[in-house]
């Protein structure tokens, strides 16, 4: 990914209260047809974001919202770890229900909050591609 993308993510993470996190932007594509995905370290203040090449064809407002969405997942990471830790105590059937609900609701939350949060983030510059 370009230096401009890295600089933009760095600026956004600081505004979103994540300045103590190391967020790496990977050159790899997201696993499916998503515009982006993030992997948050279990033990360290580190995360890796993968952006789709197609994202950079979108309007700057949408790019800004997607970046906010992915960074919000860092704030949710502790709850996600707690949900993952429930697999053994709950058993497979109950865990699958809890895990599915978490997946759906955490995405809904990130979608809603990213729309609001994006408004306080800078627009990506023309070099962000």
For 102-116, write each residue's pLDDT tens digit: 999 999 999 999 999
The predicted structure's pLDDT at residue 2: 81
Percentage of residues in the chain having pLDDT higher than 70: 96
- Kindly report the average pLDDT of the chain as a whole number: 93
Give me the pLDDT at residue 1, please. 64
* CA angle, 9 then 10 then 12, to 5°: 65
Domains and CATH numbers, the chain: 3-120 (3.30.2010)
Neighbours of 113 (CB within 10 A): 16
Question: Is a pLDDT exceeding 80 seen at residue 37?
Answer: yes
For the residues 72-83, what does the mean pLDDT come to?
94
Does this model's pTM top 0.85? My answer is yes
51-72 residue pLDDT tens: 999 999 999 999 999 999 999 9
**Could you tell me whether strands 22-26 and 46-51 are parallel, antiparallel, or unpaired per DSSP bridges?**
parallel
């Amino acid at each position: 990914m370009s230096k401009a993308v890295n600089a933009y993510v760095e600026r956004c993470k600081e505004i979103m209260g994540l300045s103590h996190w190391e967020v790496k932007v990977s050159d790899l594509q997201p696993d499916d047809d998503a515009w982006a995905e993030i992997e948050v370290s279990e033990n360290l203040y580190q995360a890796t974001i993968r952006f789709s090449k197609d994202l950079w064809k979108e309007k700057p407002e949408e790019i800004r919202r997607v970046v906010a969405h992915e960074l919000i997942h860092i704030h949710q990471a502790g709850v996600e770890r707690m949900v993952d830790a429930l697999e053994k105590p709950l058993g497979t059937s109950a865990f699958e229900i809890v895990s599915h609900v978490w997946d759906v609701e955490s995405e809904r939350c990130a979608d809603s909050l990213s729309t609001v949060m994006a408004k306080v983030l800078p627009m990506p510059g023309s070099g962000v591609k």
